[in-house]
Structure 1
Amino acid sequence: LRTMYEKARANGDEVPIAVVNGADATVLLAAAMSFNEDLDELTVAAALHNRLHGKPLRMVQLPNGIAVPADSEYAMEARITLELDDEGPYVDITGTVDEVRQEPVIEYDSVYHRTEPVFHALISAGVEHRTLMGMPRAPTIKAAVSKVVNCTDVYLTEGGCGWLSSVVQIKPQHDGDGIKAIHAALDGHRSMKQVIVVDEDIDIANPIRVEWALMTRWQPDTDTVILTGQKGSSLDPSRDEDGSTSKIGMDATLPIGVDRGPFESVL
């Protein structure tokens, strides 16, 4: 949508759009995804909907020509105008107040709704916010890491707000696979600031077990990657004024061929 808007703005044109509220969860998830190629999010939503519900995603066309999910609570005809205005300040996924930006103004022309509609309000920095924003990044990170090592799972941590930190589970086959996984993970999600790589026996959704893996399998001087001058996330208030940040990766995997006995928990 941003690309469409910028092209239209260059030609002095407004962009007709539709805004929906109270759509199926598959629509929300698809809308939160980012793709490296031109892809209609509704196509992804339809595929997810069919997989989850076993039936097609019903659509309806509004008078302005924009198709919307038919079962949404609200559907609004609108236009992205050429006018800019301050957006914010708003609380974002980290629970901190994000910076104010100049963004295009949207003008609404018509509102349609179901009988006795329910308005869906998302609580900033809540579980739903973190899930919708962060969960789609897990397969992106997994795909990037899988190009260099055998990656079995990825978890965006709660402490990292589902965005800035992850735990990556791999099955090492060669020395150095953990370090390779760190670089690939950070490349797979550029906003991420920290990544911890662990073996298959570690429950990556359990922060206690992840820290246990660090304390029993990780040596800070040899198993750590620190990158400086990296592109940071606007959601990180500690980043430099130019938007750059440093990033860290910790390899808590065991060396290939080591006797695993002393490193395994008996509890």
Structure 2
Amino acid sequence: MRMEDVARKGPPADLRAWLAYLAERGKLAIAREGVALADELAAIAKRLERDSAVLFPRPDGHAIPVVANLFAGRDWVAESIGVTEDQLLPQLLAAASHPLPTHEVASGPVQEVVHEDIDLLRQLPVPKHNERDSGPYITAGLLIARNPKTGVQNVSIHRCQISGKNRIGVLLLPRHTFSYYRLAEELGQALEIAIVIGAHPALLLASQAIAALDEDEMAIAGALLGEPVDVVKCRTNSVRVPAHAEIVIEGRILQGVREPEGPFGEFPQYYGPRANREVIEVDAITHRKAPIFHTIVGGGFEHLILGGVPREATLLQHLRRSFPGVIDVRLTRGGTCRYHLAIKIDKANDGEPKNVMMCAFGAHYDIKQVIVVDKDVDISSCEEIEWAVATRFQADRDLMVVSGALGSKLDPTTDNGISAKMGLDATAPVSAPELAFKRIRVKGEEEVDLATALQADPSAAVARLLAGARA
């Protein structure tokens, strides 16, 4: 299927439709049966992470197959929501600005099978990913929580360690789920939650948007899909979950309970440390009759892409509110798609890049380094960004450092999350002479047709040249 066909037909209907689409394009590998859930599954997925999704039938003999590598590039992310790559960030921005509230239905495929006698590792094929991970982890589960006062839901992804037959250790960073948990504690309650595994790619993307508290990410997903997400009420609590997902774990984050969790391989490609963290007690598992379990290798390419692209959209929106000259943004892969941000601007005034940097640092605490470049720089190319720094940046004039700011607690260089921020103005001065920063180009390069410009049989041509030289 061609990219223009994707844009015409729209996004796939669910995870299964996305996998069928990948299979049609030769982008879905099928592993041999019986791959080990500990280490081996992740090792195979990691080898294929930039090329192919991979489905694992009967891992360790388990009846439920596992799939990994749903996103192997930005183009895959775009295709999953039925747009071209250049439409990706505008589409995400439009969805965040015009969300479609969910549509509640009485029943759905995700509740075809119900388990109330819980044994997580017997009932679900949960892999262990990185070498020093403390055990099996649910890594691609959408954790849905309800504001205990308003009922508004939040969707996010958290690392979830299987700690017992019906217990899950969960890392709650100081974001929206943690805010709901604190509200529940103030009310003397556990926080009702659900973990959704095997959701439509649009739901995964929406879960990573930098939305405001009490903005339901499932409504953003609905806008990406062009229709509201059908949701069904959980069997044991009040959380609403996508009716066409594969698997749902229903439970509660217990009030005042902390148990050891970690280490776990995280997106910076280091291990998040072991510590006492919040605990989920599982009350039920529901799933389709023949479900598919989605996993994300911690710190792998899918992890980075999934976290990076939706954040780019919300960062672009945030920056454009104050700086209409901002053209595009990119969270670079080398910066773990979280810490390093490149910003392309149509610069109108000297000094403007430093204001843009400060706005970016305020947009999300994870951002550690910002490089601002001119509109002639391709920010999808790390080589181009480095070229801009090499030729348009002077440290004594264009460097900005902010110390003692809040950063990511997963960055091992921080002091419990207290971090320095660095900004680099790699733009040319507005008043510079025309040729001082004019990029060189060879006239006619773009018009060259290599099919007609080059000989079809180079070896024969070389042989003739050598024969002529000997004569």
Q: Is the contact made by 1:140 and 1:189 (CA closer than 8 Å) also made in structure 2?
A: no
Matched letter for residue 77 of structure 1: E
**Residue equivalent to 2:276:** 102
**Residue equivalent to 2:224:** 48
Q: Is the contact made by 1:144 and 1:187 (CA closer than 8 Å) also made in structure 2?
A: no
Counterparts of 2:179 and 2:354 in 1: how far apart (Å)? 35
Which of these residues, 289, 307, 312, is aligned with residue 115 of structure 1?
Answer: 289
Matched letter for residue 57 of structure 1: V
- Aligned pair count? 262
Matched, 1:78 2:251: yes
| TM-score, normalised with respect to structure 2 | 0.53
Shift of 1:48: 1.8
Q: Report SS of the residue matched to 1:184.
A: helix
Counterparts of 2:192 and 2:266 in 1: how far apart (Å)? 27
**Residue equivalent to 1:177:** 352
Q: Deviations over 1:213-247 (max 9, x none)?
A: 1111111111111111222211211123x532222
**Residue equivalent to 1:58:** 230
Q: Which 4+ runs in 1 deviate beyond 6 A?
A: none
Which of these residues, 162, 173, 176, is aligned with residue 337 of structure 2?
Answer: 162
Q: Report SS of the residue matched to 2:278.
A: strand
Matched letter for residue 309 of structure 2: M
Matched letter for residue 234 of structure 2: L
**Residue equivalent to 1:253:** 427
How many percent identity over aligned positions?
Answer: 35
Matched letter for residue 376 of structure 2: D
Residues 182 and 65 of structure 1, relative CA distance in 2, 3 Å threshold:
closer
Matched letter for residue 234 of structure 1: K
Q: Report SS of the residue matched to 1:161.
A: coil
Shift of 1:74: 0.4
Q: Report SS of the residue matched to 1:2.
A: helix
CA RMSD in angstroms, aligned pairs only: 1.7
Give 1:233-252 correspondences, 5 Å limit.
233-240=408-415, 242-252=416-426
Q: Is the contact made by 2:411 and 2:417 (CA closer than 8 Å) also made in structure 1?
A: no
**Residue equivalent to 1:67:** 240
Q: Report SS of the residue matched to 2:402.
A: strand
Q: Deviations over 1:71-108 (max 9, x none)?
A: 11101221221222122111110110113343221111
Counterparts of 1:144 and 1:77 in 2: how far apart (Å)? 35
Matched letter for residue 409 of structure 2: S
Larger of the two Rg values belongs to structure: 2
Q: Report SS of the residue matched to 2:403.
A: strand
**Residue equivalent to 2:20:** none
Residues 12 and 135 of structure 1, relative CA distance in 2, 3 Å threshold:
same
Counterparts of 1:74 and 1:199 in 2: how far apart (Å)? 46
Q: Report SS of the residue matched to 1:135.
A: helix
Counterparts of 2:355 and 2:183 in 1: how far apart (Å)? 38
Q: Report SS of the residue matched to 1:261.
A: coil
Matched, 1:93 2:259: no
Counterparts of 2:183 and 2:360 in 1: how far apart (Å)? 32
Q: Is the contact made by 1:149 and 1:172 (CA closer than 8 Å) also made in structure 2?
A: no
Matched letter for residue 8 of structure 1: A
Counterparts of 1:114 and 1:217 in 2: how far apart (Å)? 56
Matched letter for residue 401 of structure 2: I
**Residue equivalent to 2:393:** 218
Which of these residues, 305, 314, 324, is aligned with residue 140 of structure 1?
Answer: 314
**Residue equivalent to 2:184:** 8
Structure holding more helix per residue: 2
**Residue equivalent to 1:129:** 303
Counterparts of 1:199 and 1:172 in 2: how far apart (Å)? 7
The range that moved more, 201-210 or 129-138, is 129-138
Counterparts of 2:435 and 2:315 in 1: how far apart (Å)? 31
Counterparts of 1:77 and 1:102 in 2: how far apart (Å)? 22
| TM-score, normalised with respect to structure 1 | 0.91
Listed as ranges, the gaps of 5+ residues in structure 1 are none
Matched letter for residue 187 of structure 2: N
Residues 56 and 232 of structure 1, relative CA distance in 2, 3 Å threshold:
closer
Counterparts of 2:295 and 2:283 in 1: how far apart (Å)? 21
Q: Report SS of the residue matched to 2:272.
A: coil
Matched, 1:186 2:361: yes
Shift of 1:149: 5.3
